[in-house]
Amino acid sequence: MQSGSRESDALIVRIPSTAPDRGRRAAPPGRGPDARTLRTRVAVVEAATALFLQHGYQRTSTEDIARAAGVSKRTVYNNFADKEALFTEIVLGITATAERFADEVVATLRDAEDVPAALHTLARRHLEVVTRPQILQLRQLLIAEARRFPALAREYHRGAPGRVIDALAVAFRELAERGALNAPDPQRAAEHFAFLVLGASLDRAMFAADATPPSTEERDRIADDGARVFLAAYRAR
């Protein structure tokens, strides 16, 4: 898991290059998205993300978003059906990060010769990704809005933390089949790994939003301790 795969905290959400279907003609085959349209969508998503995180969903208006993005309100609606659709796009965009991380999990562990070392590396990477400030803030915002958007909250859980747990389960099952891990219940083992590595840090972040984030060194110690406890239970006999 190379550090070069990290994404900027400034914008971690996926930005689809096409606007909602409003009866427009499709772009000619073979042509990529219009660069100006893509820049506009990026500007709107960045502005909306910053405002949602600063003021919350309810206290952010479409007018506020348009003003911050430097576009008209009509332009916002031309690219996103309404504020709810824009919020949904931002929240579900985080799943792109989860999808890439899930792919890394399986690829890294499947052929690992030194499984304990690979698990320590994975634990550090997992904690680093999940505790990025913007991801934590968006998670807090979604929890606050879960009653308003219950389906969105469920979809986020399925596509982000749930997807990573499933990927861990697949990797642990393969390791168990080749005798490199003692995991008779790979799904439960995946849950144990995730909570040992992430649980305390996520709890602190969710309930103490103004807490100072741990240093890189402290975060690595937390991850290593979680991996060490996991291996004490699941190391191949």
Domain membership of residue 197 (yes or no) is: yes
pTM, 2 dp:
0.79
User: According to the model, what pLDDT value does residue 110 have?
Assistant: 83
What number of residues does the chain have? 237
Which three-class secondary structure state does DSSP give residue 146? coil
- Same domain flag for 216 and 126: yes
* pLDDT confidence of residue 217: 95
Q: What pLDDT does residue 17 have? A: 46
- 42 and 112 in a single domain? The answer is no
Do 73 and 102 sit in the same domain of this protein? no
Task: Verify that 191 and 96 share a domain, yes or no.
Answer: yes
The most distant pair of C-alpha atoms in the chain lies apart, rounded to whole Å, by: 64
So what's the pLDDT on residue 210? 72
Burial 146-185 (b: 16+ CB within 10 A, else e): eeebeebbebbeebbbbbbbbbbbbbbbbbbeeebbebee
Q: What local confidence, expressed as pLDDT, does residue 31 receive? A: 53
71 and 143 part of one domain: no
Domains of the chain: total: 2
**CATH assignment at residue 72:** 1.10.10.60
Which of 106, 104, 115, 101 is closest to 179 using CA atoms? 115
pLDDT tens for the chain, 237 residues long, are 333 334 444 344 455 545 444 434 444 555 556 788 889 999 999 999 999 999 999 999 999 999 999 999 999 999 999 999 999 999 888 787 788 888 888 888 888 999 999 999 999 999 998 888 888 888 889 999 999 999 999 999 999 999 999 999 999 999 999 999 999 999 999 999 999 999 999 888 888 767 777 889 999 999 999 999 999 999 998
Q: What ranges make up the beta strands (E) of 90-236?
A: none
Backbone angles phi, psi at 143, to 5 degrees: -60, -40
> Which tokens belong to 83?
């504020």
Query: Which of 15, 47, 80 marks a domain boundary?
Result: 80
Q: Which domain holds residue 123?
A: 92-234
pLDDT the model gives residue 195: 96
- Same domain for 63 and 165: no
